[in-house]
């Protein structure tokens, strides 16, 4: 299906921004999954003032994958104002009249490029083959070539089998395999695949940052057990309703407390950096179509 963004009418694009701005001013912009009611709605809901995703295509000439991705990424912004700013940046990046149907695959191809760039060493042959196979389908789709459902199913079956076989391999390779498996869908038939791929990639980057800090499953389990013991000993029967296990961690185990706080700081930094990366990918693709 060919799309014509905003039906080649810049007025429609400006009206979308105006509706968002009005919702923000009235306290009705509530970033999250698509919704709209008397109290307001998501970014896409505010633009459409409707919950029917098909109206995104009919009224605005935009593909559903973009609506799902825009709402999801706006929901991850730190505030309603930040969500508004990102949504406006995305809308402004779209040239009226452009066909953004194939651009969903272009976003996924940008993720695949990052998998290769971020991998500390060459990926094993099986993983490289799966990456190349799914990449080839998305390249064809990005060029507006029709890829048959059978081809997508075959690539997805192979990627899933590979992902299931990597339980004993390094965590980074497992994360890459999950990302490839997640991406093995046609964005024009599966509106959630673009955001799902960005979400999994973002999780891989965050997970790698935590591993680089030196926090693994063993450390996580040990901390959980320590916090439980502090709760049982000091908090459970305490007359002070404000007392928390973290107060007791800082008091009785200051070094572990410092390490946990440092881990949280790494998580926050990785979350911010990875969100910037995936939103940048979307904006870059929108701006060049």
Inside any domain, residue 236: no
Inside any domain, residue 239: no
Residues 44 and 78: their CA atoms lie apart, in Å, by 18
Statement: residue 1 has pLDDT above 80: no
Structure confidence at residue 117 as a pLDDT band (50, 70, 90): confident
Inside any domain, residue 229: no
Q: Which of 93, 128, 150 is the last residue of a domain?
A: 93
Residue with tokens 């296990």: 245
Q: Are residues 127 and 182 in the same domain?
A: yes
Q: Are residues 159 and 61 in the same domain?
A: no
Q: Which of 62, 93, 124 is the last residue of a domain?
A: 93
| Domain coverage including residue 39 | 5-93
Q: Are residues 110 and 192 in the same domain?
A: yes
Q: Are residues 205 and 115 in the same domain?
A: yes
Inside any domain, residue 247: no
Inside any domain, residue 198: yes
Q: Are residues 144 and 89 in the same domain?
A: no
pLDDT of residue 116: 82
pLDDT of residue 121: 66
Q: Are residues 153 and 276 in the same domain?
A: yes
Instruction: Give the rounded percent of residues in the chain with a pLDDT score beyond 70.
Output: 99
Q: Are residues 150 and 14 in the same domain?
A: no
Q: Are 159 and 134 in contact (CB under 8 A)?
A: yes
Residues 109-122 have a mean pLDDT of 85
Q: What residues pair up with 29 in beta bridges, in sequence order?
A: 41
pLDDT of residue 168: 80
Contacts 24+ apart (CB under 8 A), 218-225: 223/256, 223/260
Inside any domain, residue 171: yes
Structure confidence at residue 120 as a pLDDT band (50, 70, 90): low
Q: Are residues 277 and 172 in the same domain?
A: yes
pLDDT of residue 134: 97
Residues 132 and 180: their CA atoms lie apart, in Å, by 10
Q: Are residues 107 and 33 in the same domain?
A: no
Average pLDDT, the chain: 95
Q: Which of 70, 93, 116 is the last residue of a domain?
A: 93
Which residues are CB-contacts of 45 (< 8 A; sequence separation ≥ 6)?
Answer: 34, 35, 36, 51, 71
Statement: residue 114 has pLDDT above 80: yes
Residues 287 and 79: their CA atoms lie apart, in Å, by 24
Taking only the tens place, the pLDDT of each residue in 157-209 is 999 999 898 888 888 889 999 999 999 999 999 999 999 999 999 999 999 99
Taking only the tens place, the pLDDT of each residue in 217-267 is 899 999 999 999 999 999 999 999 999 999 999 999 999 999 999 999 999
Q: Are residues 62 and 176 in the same domain?
A: no
Question: Global pTM?
Answer: 0.93
Q: Are 1 and 64 in contact (CB under 8 A)?
A: no
Inside any domain, residue 266: no
């Amino acid at each position: 299906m060919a799309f014509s963004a905003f039906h080649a009418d810049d007025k429609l694009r400006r009206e979308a921004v105006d509706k968002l701005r009005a919702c923000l001013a009235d306290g009705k912009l509530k970033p999250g999954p698509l919704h709209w009611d008397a109290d307001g709605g998501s970014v896409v809901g505010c633009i459409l003032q409707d919950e029917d995703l098909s109206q995104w295509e009919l009224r605005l000439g935009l593909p559903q994958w973009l609506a799902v991705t825009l709402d999801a990424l706006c929901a991850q912004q730190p505030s309603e104002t930040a969500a508004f700013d990102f949504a406006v940046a995305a809308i402004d990046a779209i040239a009226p009249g452009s066909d953004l149907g194939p651009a969903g695959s272009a976003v996924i191809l940008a993720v695949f490029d990052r998998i290769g760039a971020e991998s500390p060493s060459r990926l094993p042959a099986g993983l490289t083959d799966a990456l190349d196979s799914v990449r080839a389908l998305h390249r064809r789709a990005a060029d507006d070539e029709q890829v048959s459902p059978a081809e997508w199913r075959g690539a997805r079956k192979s990627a899933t089998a590979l992902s299931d076989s990597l339980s004993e391999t390094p965590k980074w390779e497992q994360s890459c395999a999950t990302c490839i498996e997640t991406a093995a869908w046609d964005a024009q038939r599966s509106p959630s695949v673009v955001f799902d791929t960005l979400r999994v990639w973002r999780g891989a980057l965050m997970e790698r940052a935590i591993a680089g800090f030196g926090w693994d499953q063993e450390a996580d389990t040990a901390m959980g057990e320590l916090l439980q013991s502090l709760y049982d000993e000091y908090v459970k029967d305490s007359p002070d309703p404000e007392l928390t296990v973290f107060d007791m961690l800082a008091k009785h185990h200051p070094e572990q407390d410092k390490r946990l706080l440092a881990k949280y700081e790494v998580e926050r930094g990785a979350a911010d950096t990875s969100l910037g990366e995936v939103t940048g990918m979307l904006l870059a693709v929108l701006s060049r179509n």
